[in-house]
Amino acid sequence: MISATVFLTFILMLTIFLGFELINKVPATLHTPLMSGANAISGITLVGALSLAGTGRHDLANWMSVAAVALATINVVGGYLVTDRMLAMFRKKGS
């Protein structure tokens, strides 16, 4: 039986290679939106915080997770909106 850890590490390895391939050919014009869009994705840690923030045990771990939910949400919501605001400004000639 192969452990879950091995599977997860396998996924990690493949994803890193995929990430390199995806980003490699982005034109310089899009570097800022790409960075801030990627930054919003890193707020995915929100999903991890959710389950830890609703345990019903009102201990330190629970409150830390609630704080993590708030912080990660700022990262996610702010990141996507600001990226969208930037991308809305990029326009082709004549449009």
Segment 50-89, which members bind another protein (CB under 8 A)? 50-56, 61-62, 64-89
Please report which residue ranges of 1-95 form alpha helices under DSSP H: 4-23, 31-41, 45-53, 60-73, 79-89
Q: Does the protein bind another protein through residue 94 (CB under 8 A)?
A: yes
Q: Does the protein bind another protein through residue 47 (CB under 8 A)?
A: yes
Smallest distance, another protein to C-beta of residue 6, A = 10
The tokens describing 72, both together, are 């990660």
The CA distance from 63 to 65, in Å, is 5
Q: Does the protein bind another protein through residue 2 (CB under 8 A)?
A: no
Smallest distance, another protein to C-beta of residue 1, A = 16
Position 20, amino acid: F
